[in-house]
Amino acid sequence: MKSQLYINEIQPLFDDAQRSRIFNDQKTMTDAVPLFPISEINKRYEKEKGEEGFDLRSFVLTNFDFIGEKAVRKDDMLPITEHIEKLWDELTHTASEDEGTLLKLPKPYIVPGGRFNEFFYWDSYFVMLGLQVSGRVEMIKNIVENCSYLIHEFGFVPNASRTHFLSRSQPPYFSLMLDLLAESTNDENVYSKYHSTLEKEYRFWMAGEEGLENDSAVKRVIKTKEGDLLNRYYDSENTPRPESYLIDIEDQHEAFGEEFFRNIRSACESGWDFSSRWFADGATIQTIETLNLAEVDLNCLIWHLEKTLAKSSALIGLTDKTAYYSQRADNRKQNIDQYFWDEEAGIYRDYHIKQHIKTSSEHIATLYPLYLGLASEKQAKAVSEVIAEKFLYKGGLVTTTKESGQQWDLPNAWAPYQWLGFLGMKNYGFTQLADDIKNNWCTNVERVYNNTGKLMEKYNALDTKTIAGGGEYPNQDGFGWTNGVYLKLKQY
């Protein structure tokens, strides 16, 4: 196992650089590649920093290389689908060796774009949807291979392919990636080929379940007071995120609880950084309590992983394992109904493991049971009505019904949930609603593209005259999962 980060070895310099705000974006320093041996840089820093006229920014620029953002080339305004086809090549990166914080990967991969110049886990699934439409099966295979490599190397797919993400993962989409690969190649053998990979990822998410007592939690596993197993997002570190170092330190003032940093990091594992969904008061990040929640999206994805493991076990002829994983999936399906379904509200919510109640946050992760076919017809109908009434706007589906200034809240529409919403509604026969979701969002994407020549990370669903905002950094241009979901939706 690699050390969490060579940043640990330059901590005094790193701390000074981040606190001094020598770069506008805190991610810049984490992505820096040392030009000399670390011991040499440290020695030089200790010697020079006390000298008169010492300039910290100049010192850092002299001792580190900065790749930074790679601007997307703007040709004459191409039709949007042609632009995306060209973007696939621009967003393709390789990392044949470890460099600074960047982890090596065996195959080329697609990066999201803008400041995100590394491989991201759940983003890659939605990128793959578009690659399938583009007929780029080789890149779909590459992404699966890279995930498999990371799982065998580290036990899981990190949030992204940098050393400072080795303490957390992201929503576990590997089993869904295999479905997409099997569909793209018409080859069921992918499940048996990656059986050991699936098992290893499952062990990561279930680590610590043995001997866990009722009404307690360890790492990513929760045992309810009734004795049922559920999962939560978690991060093994309780320190400021290097990529948002000063932001976290400043946010910690007046924060609630000793594990503020771990709660922040655990929300990052969900991909939703950040949302009122995680806040005890529904408004301020200082009340973040991710660790107290079992999430409906995560548990649905792990149900899919269990179902896929039952399938891969059957293909290999492992009868006992087939029965074992099938039983686990059946149990989890019952638990999803019991702990997340809110009959009165007609939606799925998260479950608060300390208060033993469903949380009050209304959020778009309610789509997962419909997307994966776990909801009953009655549940799906209820969810569809709430989606139409509270979540669907002129520019697409919003993530929550609360405006907090956080980027994973109203009024923002994110690509993954347009796909989950579209397919979830189609699965249960709500064809008109599915089409409205598709058309509202795709029209918004086309409008922004025609006005700016850009495909964005997220969109404003309410004010379709503007581009989305909120969050810790400016809206990014590229953008992997927008490209993928747009192409896939336009296929229907």
- Per the CB < 8 A criterion, the answer to whether 360 and 282 are in contact is yes
Question: Quick one: how far is CA 475 from the chain centroid?
Answer: 16
Element (DSSP H or E) covering residue 264: helix 260-269
Residues 439 and 433: their CA atoms lie apart, in Å, by: 10
Which value, to the nearest 10 degrees, does the dihedral of the CA atoms of residues 337, 342, 344, 347 take?
A: -100
Residues 428 and 246: their CA atoms lie apart, in Å, by: 46
- Out of 306, 362, 457, 477, pick the active-site residue: 457
Angle of the 11-19 helix axis to the 38-48 helix axis, nearest 10: 60
Residues 404 and 336: their CA atoms lie apart, in Å, by: 28
Q: Is 457 a residue of the active site?
A: yes
Residues 449 and 451: their CA atoms lie apart, in Å, by: 5
- Out of 31, 201, 273, 297, pick the active-site residue: 273
Vertex 241: Cα angle to 240 and 243 (nearest 5): 135
The pairing of strands 221-223 and 92-93 is: unpaired
Residues 71 and 69: their CA atoms lie apart, in Å, by: 6
Phi-psi region of 47 (alpha: psi -120 to 50; beta: other; left: phi over 0): alpha
Number of other residues whose CB lies within 10 A of the CB of residue 426: 18
Radius of gyration of the chain (CA): 22
Residues 56 and 58: their CA atoms lie apart, in Å, by: 5
Task: Point out the residues that are catalytic.
Answer: 273, 457
